[in-house]
Amino acid sequence: MYQAILDHIRKYVVLTQEEEELLCQNLEYKKHPKKEFLLEAGKICKGNYFIVKGCVRQYFINRKLNEQIIHFAIENWWIADQDSLMTGQPSACTIQAIEETEVLLLPEKNKADLFRQVPVLETYFALIMRKAFVAAQRRLGYIFNMTDEERFRHFSSLFPEFMQRVPQYMLASYLGFTPQFMSRLRAKKN
């Protein structure tokens, strides 16, 4: 169960056997059936979730009372509400399993102590956060600089696995257009 996270971390930093064991002792394994919430809006985020198996989405409800998906995560990706973690305030968003999902939760209450004991983990998380920030910047650039069709084509070429695993209406929300427009694009593709 810990092999996936240890392999992922090894791509960025080196941990000793003792440090790996200490990390694993601080992780909580959780299994979530399809549609179950990892985090509900209005509750404080408990920590960072590493996806071992499955797929989740992070969304908020906009002023028109529609779900606006801001993030997906699949195997070997992290997800959390960083705002809630940083401020200790209730989350404005929800994280929900799209498929049956297994996660390893690194509770926020354990993180500072773990970083003191294993300083290289702080370097790892800094690198992961930097990559997430760059991805968010790129996504904003795509939203502002590409047409809806260009954005769809670009996303489907970069992440073909999402096209198979994520319902069409969720992809449309994430890409910033209606499910009807998504249907027309997919029909055009065939």
* 23 domain residue, yes or no: yes
CB of 75 within 8 A of CB of 53? yes
pLDDT in the model for residue 190: 55
Q: What is the mean pLDDT of the chain?
A: 92
Distance CA(122)–CA(90), nearest Å, equals 24
Is residue 110, in this structure, part of any structural domain at all? yes
Name the pLDDT band for 189 (thresholds 50, 70, 90): low
What is the pLDDT averaged over residues 178-187? 81
Whether pLDDT at 186 is above 80: no
Label residue 41 by pLDDT band (50, 70, 90).
very high
Above 90 in pLDDT, residue 187? no
Please report, for the domain that includes residue 54, its CATH number: 2.60.120.10
Tokens of 128: 């992961």
pLDDT in tens, 122-159: 999 999 999 999 988 988 888 889 888 888 888 888 88
Structure token pair of residue 174? 């994430």
The pLDDT-based confidence of 53 (bands split at 50, 70, 90) is: very high
- Is 142 part of any domain? no
Instruction: Give a yes or no: residue 135 inside a domain.
Output: no
Q: Is residue 161 part of a domain?
A: no
Query: Is 12 within a domain?
Result: yes
| Average pLDDT for 10-31 | 96
- Does residue 173 lie in a domain region? no
Domain annotation covers residue 180: no
pTM value surpassing 0.85? yes
The pLDDT of residue 158 is 87
Provide the domain limits for residue 23.
Answer: 3-118
d(CA 112, CA 124): 14
Q: What is the count of structural domains for the chain?
A: 1
